[in-house]
Amino acid sequence: MVENAIREQYQELDLNEPSNIDKVQLSKEQFASGLLKSILFTAIAIFVFFVPITVGGESGVAFGFIYNFFIDVLGDVGLWLITILITVNAVVSFYGKFVAAPDSKLGEYYGHDSVFHPIFYSLGAVFTVVYSLHATVASFTGPEWIVGPGTGGTVIPAIVVGVAWIIPVGAFFMPFLLSYGGIDFIGAVLEPIMRPIFKVPGKSAVDAISSFVSSSSMAVIITSRLYRTNNYTKREASVIATCFSAVSVGFAVLVIGTAGLGDHFLKVYFSSFIAAFLISIVLVRIPPLSRKPDVYHNGRLQTEEDRVSEAKFELGIFKRGIERAAKRAYLAEPLSKEIISCLKDGYSVLPKVLTLLAGVGTSGLIIAEYTPLFEYLGMVFTPLLNLLQVPNAVEIAPSIPVGIAEMFLPVLLIADKVEVLDIGARYFVTALSMVQIIFFSETIVVMIATRLPIKLWELVTCFFLRTLIAIPIIALMMHMLF
């Protein structure tokens, strides 16, 4: 009850603004209560999202084991529940977009979609139904171009089904990470690093870490929630989503192993990690990201004071972070309310995210697998690879643009040539695919479906800019390491 009274006392202040949270005054007992709550809930979040554990001989984070548990337990039933959800979304989207009144629930839900969304929803429904029939009905055999391992056989069971549980499980645990002060502490401590180097708040480091240890989808969802709660401006949210939604460690193991570089995992992974941040330093300073407005979701313009007031190291930086964490935790809504709020947000985007993942992701892989489009695009990069003395330039050039369809595709294209390709060429393809991070089969779709303030053409532009900046960096690292 005391928490409610204090919350009402400061209700006119936007407590997502760090300078406002600093104005909150708590008694010693209230401060101790808030600090204890912050430590407890943040510890739970750290364990769930970031601490590697081993279960049954497999290593990963608890978050991964939890959502994989639901996938394994439900099996084909879960696949068909997802298929039904995707199909219903595709059918209802036409009514919501073109028939429903703008102020109706369906009109509001689908009104922001483009006229092309229902088409991609329909493709997603068709691909998912065909794959589900192929996977569960013995007498039905789907066409290879839809259900093959290079197309729908990769997107639907590995990505669509995975994200179907990543979103609700992640939403359940997200309040532990975002609502009880942990992110405020990290933001205060890392602001002097993140703000001058990457032009984003210190708390954005949480998004980057969640990418590396859990999934890129989870990082995008965290970014979207922080943007909608006025923690990030439009520019900051766009930068964070396109620069820090990196490949998780678990998936990196698979990618690096497929390229025959398992014995060099640490070299490949950490060099890619460094390259990703070097690329981001450049990308945030050039269009289209640099031209995004520094306006919060509620319309408030970010001031110069907001940006520079804490972008320096000082003795009180840890004390300020601890104070903010304690105040945030003390004033937060009860855990049940925070969880319900996050679950509502998660389930509100789930139908669109899954349907677009199936439609756009599978379509992209079909184009990559069955058309020469990316081979032609790859020819553009061959002279540059030759200039940088990258071995097997002609053979690996098509893998460069194909990463926009699915980040695993570049390595899949060379998987059957591992024995004949130079190790430097294999490193180049693998590292480059891991730092491109913007691809249709997952991250682009999640960014659009969660309505982050970035357009499709801007995402495609960012992909090619990241690629062009990355090529000389990865080539230099290749010559240094191999």
Is the pLDDT at 260 greater than 90? The verdict is no
Q: H helices then E strands: how many in the chain?
A: 27, 2
Q: Would you state the pLDDT for residue 290?
A: 95
Alpha-carbon radius of gyration of the chain = 23
Q: Cβ atoms within 10 A of the Cβ of 141, count?
A: 10
- pLDDT, tens only, 90-114: 999 999 999 999 889 999 889 878 8
Is the pLDDT at 338 greater than 70? The verdict is yes
User: Please, what is the average pLDDT of the chain?
Assistant: 86
Is the pLDDT at 264 greater than 90? The verdict is no
Give yes or no for a contact between 436 and 405, defined as CB atoms under 8 angstroms apart: no
User: Residue 463 domain-assigned?
Assistant: no
Question: How far is 161 from 437, CA to CA, in rounded Å?
Answer: 20
Q: Cβ atoms within 10 A of the Cβ of 112, count?
A: 9
Q: Tokens 């202040």 label which residue?
A: 13
Closest to 238 in 3D by CA, of 176, 289, 199: 289
- Helix/strand/coil for 380: coil
Q: Cβ atoms within 10 A of the Cβ of 393, count?
A: 19
User: Residue 104 domain-assigned?
Assistant: yes
Q: Give 57's contacts (C-beta < 8 A, 6+ positions apart).
A: none
Q: How many domains does the chain have?
A: 1
User: Residue 221 domain-assigned?
Assistant: yes
Question: How far is 192 from 269, CA to CA, in rounded Å?
Answer: 26
Q: Would you state the pLDDT for residue 311?
A: 55
Give yes or no for a contact between 325 and 182, defined as CB atoms under 8 angstroms apart: yes
User: Residue 317 domain-assigned?
Assistant: yes
> For 283-293, b where at least 16 C-beta lie within 10 A, e where not — what string?
bbeeebbeebe
User: Residue 136 domain-assigned?
Assistant: yes
Instruction: Tell me the DSSP string of 218-244.
Output: HHHHHHHHHHHTTSSBHHHHHHHHHHS
Higher pLDDT, residue 310 or 289: 289
User: Residue 372 domain-assigned?
Assistant: no
In this prediction, residues 471-482 reach a mean pLDDT of: 96
Is the pLDDT at 167 greater than 80? The verdict is yes
Burial of 6 by CB count in 10 Å (0-12 exposed, 13-18 middle, 19+ buried)? Answer: middle
> For 50-74, b where at least 16 C-beta lie within 10 A, e where not — what string?
beeeeeeeeebbbbbbbbbeebeeb
DSSP code of residue 334: P
- pLDDT, tens only, 15-36: 666 667 777 888 899 999 999 9
Question: How far is 448 from 441, CA to CA, in rounded Å?
Answer: 12
Q: Tokens 């009144």 label which residue?
A: 101
Q: CA neighbours within 13 Å on the CB side: how many for 30? A: 18
User: Residue 107 domain-assigned?
Assistant: yes
Instruction: Name the residue type at position 82.
Output: I
User: Residue 461 domain-assigned?
Assistant: no
> What sign for the dihedral angle of Cα 52, 54, 55, 58?
positive
User: Residue length, the chain?
Assistant: 482
Residue 228 domain boundaries: 2-256+312-350
Q: Would you state the pLDDT for residue 415?
A: 78
Question: How far is 55 from 69, CA to CA, in rounded Å?
Answer: 12
- pLDDT, tens only, 414-454: 877 888 999 999 999 999 999 998 988 778 888 888 889 99
Confidence of residue 1 (pLDDT cuts 50, 70, 90): low
Closest to 276 in 3D by CA, of 212, 188, 185: 212
Integer CA distances (angstroms), 272 to 30, 226, 246, 382, 477, in order: 45, 27, 10, 22, 9
